[in-house]
Structure 1
Amino acid sequence: MTTDREPPGRAVDVWGAANTLLIWAFVALLILMPWAYAAVPLAAGLLALAGLLLQGAPAGDSEAVLDAEDRLWLVTLLAFAGLWCWDVARTGVWPVAGHGGSWLVPLWPVLAAGLLVWLRYHPPSRTGWWLGLVVGALGAGCIAVYERFALGADRADNGMNAIPFGNLALLLGVLALVAMLGRLAHQNRVLPWLTVALGLAAVGGFAASFLSGTRGGWVALPLLVCMGFRGFHGVFPHRWMLAAAAGVLLLLAVLVAMTTITGDGVHERIVEAVSGIERYLGGDSGNSVGLRLDMWSAGIQLFLEKPLAGWGEGRLQAAWDGMVEAGLVHSAMNRFDQLHSDLIDTAARRGGLGLLSLLALYGVPVWLFARHLRGSQDAENRTLALSGLMICFAFVIFGLTQSMLRDARGLSGYLGLTVACWVLLKTKFLTKDLSRDAGAREDHEVFDHRP
């Protein structure tokens, strides 16, 4: 049995308690409050600055020292930011992110790197992560139900773009489900009501995704479910896994029925997508699917023209405006400020160099989380590693049809969720080592424990 108490001999860390509150606020409010995606990371940055001014650079004790894994991630974040800033410098234009502002998004990975260091020296409690998932996913579900059934909105969006709202709500729901299963596997006695709350939050996140009408999330869901079953293989008896599979299918069936009632459900959205492809093949690209295909085609052509460093922030818009004027793509394309694909948009703007930095931004945390998932037998370590892996893969899939990392909330969500999950994983991994050295054997349940 595990608790969330400090390991023996460790003083209570006031900064760590504040970081726990900030982790909760970020996860809980990411898609609930309009400016939380920017306000919470900035508040965390100010807290870190205050901590450095008040206590100076932290001493390098065994818990606080950054290891090779941390340094690899820091290099990846700084390289991504550095290449993006160089692109801004050579063109003189800051990128336009979500909500029509630049928000200095190329600098956000630098903030994420600084917060990774700060959180490693003053690690938060995982309780903030759990409670954040409950509030964030359950709140998104309540908002989506209210907007669709009380207000009669076509797509639930909470006043933002429906695509990032639906994608992030789905991810929070999946993470809540993983956290619930992890607590069941570990027989955690801390806040027992939280296990049930996480299950309800998972339902809320799934409902918000379906009510938003966001197709990209539906593509990601099967992969995330498969990853979850693979990650929990051997944790529960086989009959429990089958029952869980039946429960997930039943939940999805209920959500499909709910959205069908409003006349804009899963079936309608799929039919719309198929119709859009047929119209595009027939020469009509004036629909959401056709415009995306036009943008991807244009982006690939522009990348091939400048494959090394790309067109740059200040030149790509003019380049595809020229393609519109030449009649090579649909005229509606010039209404958009991104190419609706992180891979294609990055390749067109920053060329092969930018594409490599993006693949590293995805791939390094994937490798690190997978490494811990394979190498650990502890239930909570593996649950956190699985959660981090799901975040990375979810954003890869979301980014196939939407430039999530050019959306201010999307970029903040990816950086914040992965860094938070990583810090909690490393802290949990270290706590296990400290507890073992102190002779505390109660934290040594293995992941293949069967109830």
Structure 2
Amino acid sequence: MLLLGSIVLLIKQPTLGLKRQDWLVIAALVAYASIGMLEAWWDGQGSRGIDKPIRFLLAVPTLLLIMAYPPRLGWIWSGLVVGAIGAGGWAGWQKLAEGEWRATGYTHVIQFGNLSMLMGILCLAGLGWAWVQPRRILWLTLLLVGALMGVLGSLFSGSRGGWVGIPFVLLVLYRGYACHLPGLIKGGLLVSLVAGFSLVYALPQTGVESRFHEALNDVSLYLSGENQATSLGARFEMWKGAFYLIQEKPFIGWGDNGYQEGMQILADKGAVHPVVTEYGHPHNEFLNAFAKRGLVGLGVLLTLYLIPMKFFARQLGSPNLELRSLSVAGVLLTVAYIDFGLSQAFLIHNSGVMMYAFLLAVLWGSFAVRNRG
């Protein structure tokens, strides 16, 4: 809908007054899309290969539309609250009522859990905005409930990759909000966090303790050589295989088709466990980009994350809480995706692409307009 709405830019042709920062964010989107489509072309992937890269290109007119006609921030935070509550509620139903081992929503379990976590932590970013609203208590309550439900959705999914980045998420929130609070309140928040984490770990219904012990067992089995095909063991083998492939073609990469052929050769030679041939990516965003698109592919991926992060971060201490909330949200978006990418090739999935590309467009467009004021 946002993309279709951007047609109005061709009709009304509003003056956007793009700044250097805007052009660099747009360039990051275009560069990532271009390298992805170029890989699809030379690797012979056909239309299948350009489906996801082109969505980053289509996010550009959406970004321009948001800059021309910025929405009320209440609509953005409301959408995140509804999404987080919906994800957490559905995950709770699957886990507690239906007895599922891991809540999956209607998509891949890792994608579902991590995106639920993303919406939850973005609700926390909105607390600064809520603080200066006339109906402060209502908005603070809604955002906190959304944050809780989003995090619960992640816990019920058992997607451990999203939990690894929690310390970095807390660091961003501290830099954006908590560092300005009195020491007594900081202490209270710290005690609450420790108590909350302890409760989540202790309650068997969350599945956190069992997933933690599964991870330790996977590592033990891998190191002993007893089983290399566990969840973590398979990842270790895929990462090892990706490193082998990168060493052979570090500059241009193998392409998606070439990657799978290369992994099959490595498995046939006994260099890696045959389990790696069951996957079309190494379960790591950065190794995936490096192995398939070479140094250039890795470079544009880092650009896609680090350029927006750098510009969002400049307003983490802004006295304008509305602007600061968007700054915190933008940094959290990039930090979360970097975290998710450590154990999953998140941007090869439709959900991962759409959430990053279009959330970035909405957040940057809203941020850039208010940053000028």
Q: TM-score range by the shorter chain?
A: over 0.9
Richer in helix (by share) = 2
Alignment match, 1:47: 5
8 Å Cα contact 1:66/1:120 also seen in 2:
no
Alignment match, 1:410: 352
8 Å Cα contact 1:167/1:209 also seen in 2:
yes
Unpaired runs of at least 5, structure 2: none
Moved more, 171-180 or 341-350: 171-180
State which of 45, 50, 69 in structure 2 corresponds to 1:93.
45
Alignment match, 1:290: 233
Shift of the 127–94 alpha-carbon distance from structure 1 to 2, 3 Å rule, reads farther
Counterpart-to-counterpart distance in 2, 1:193 and 1:168 = 24
Identity %: 30
For 1:46-445, list aligned pairs within 5 A: 46-49=4-7, 51-52=8-9, 55-58=11-14, 60=15, 64-94=16-46, 104-184=51-131, 187-190=132-135, 192-258=137-203, 260-261=204-205, 265-283=207-225, 284-373=227-316, 376-430=318-372, 433=373
Counterpart-to-counterpart distance in 1, 2:261 and 2:78 = 46
Counterpart-to-counterpart distance in 2, 1:217 and 1:324 = 29
TM-score scaled by length of structure 2: 0.94
1:272-327: CA deviation from partner (whole Å, max 9, x where unpaired): 11111121122231111110000001001101100111011231111111112222
8 Å Cα contact 1:167/1:214 also seen in 2:
yes
1:79-129: CA deviation from partner (whole Å, max 9, x where unpaired): 111111111111111597xxxxx6700101101112111211121111111
Q: CA shift at 1:410, angstroms?
A: 0.9
1:196 is aligned with what amino acid? T
Counterpart-to-counterpart distance in 1, 2:86 and 2:198 = 21
8 Å Cα contact 1:180/1:196 also seen in 2:
no
Q: CA shift at 1:372, angstroms?
A: 2.6
Counterpart-to-counterpart distance in 1, 2:47 and 2:264 = 17
8 Å Cα contact 2:241/2:272 also seen in 1:
yes
Counterpart-to-counterpart distance in 2, 1:301 and 1:256 = 37
1:52-95: CA deviation from partner (whole Å, max 9, x where unpaired): 45x3422x2xxx31111110111111111111111111111159
Q: CA shift at 1:248, angstroms?
A: 2.8
Match of 1:314, SS state, is helix
Counterpart-to-counterpart distance in 2, 1:52 and 1:170 = 34
1:407 is aligned with what amino acid? H
Q: CA shift at 1:137, angstroms?
A: 0.9
Q: CA shift at 1:228, angstroms?
A: 0.8
Q: How many residues align?
A: 372
8 Å Cα contact 1:94/1:313 also seen in 2:
no
Q: CA shift at 1:180, angstroms?
A: 2.3
Counterpart-to-counterpart distance in 2, 1:318 and 1:159 = 31
Moved more, 399-408 or 238-247: 238-247
Unpaired runs of at least 5, structure 1: 1-42, 97-101, 434-451
Q: CA shift at 1:221, angstroms?
A: 1.0
For the pair shown, which has the larger CA radius of gyration, 1 or 2?
1
Q: CA shift at 1:257, angstroms?
A: 3.5
8 Å Cα contact 2:103/2:156 also seen in 1:
yes
Q: CA shift at 1:191, angstroms?
A: 6.5
Counterpart-to-counterpart distance in 2, 1:118 and 1:384 = 17
Counterpart-to-counterpart distance in 2, 1:107 and 1:142 = 33
Counterpart-to-counterpart distance in 2, 1:95 and 1:391 = 29
Counterpart-to-counterpart distance in 2, 1:74 and 1:56 = 21
Shift of the 384–328 alpha-carbon distance from structure 1 to 2, 3 Å rule, reads same
1:144-184: CA deviation from partner (whole Å, max 9, x where unpaired): 11000110000011021111111111121111122125423
Shift of the 408–390 alpha-carbon distance from structure 1 to 2, 3 Å rule, reads same
Counterpart-to-counterpart distance in 1, 2:35 and 2:352 = 19
8 Å Cα contact 1:384/1:425 also seen in 2:
yes
1:422-449: CA deviation from partner (whole Å, max 9, x where unpaired): 122123224xx3xxxxxxxxxxxxxxxx
Counterpart-to-counterpart distance in 2, 1:318 and 1:350 = 15
Q: CA shift at 1:190, angstroms?
A: 4.6
Counterpart-to-counterpart distance in 2, 1:209 and 1:410 = 15
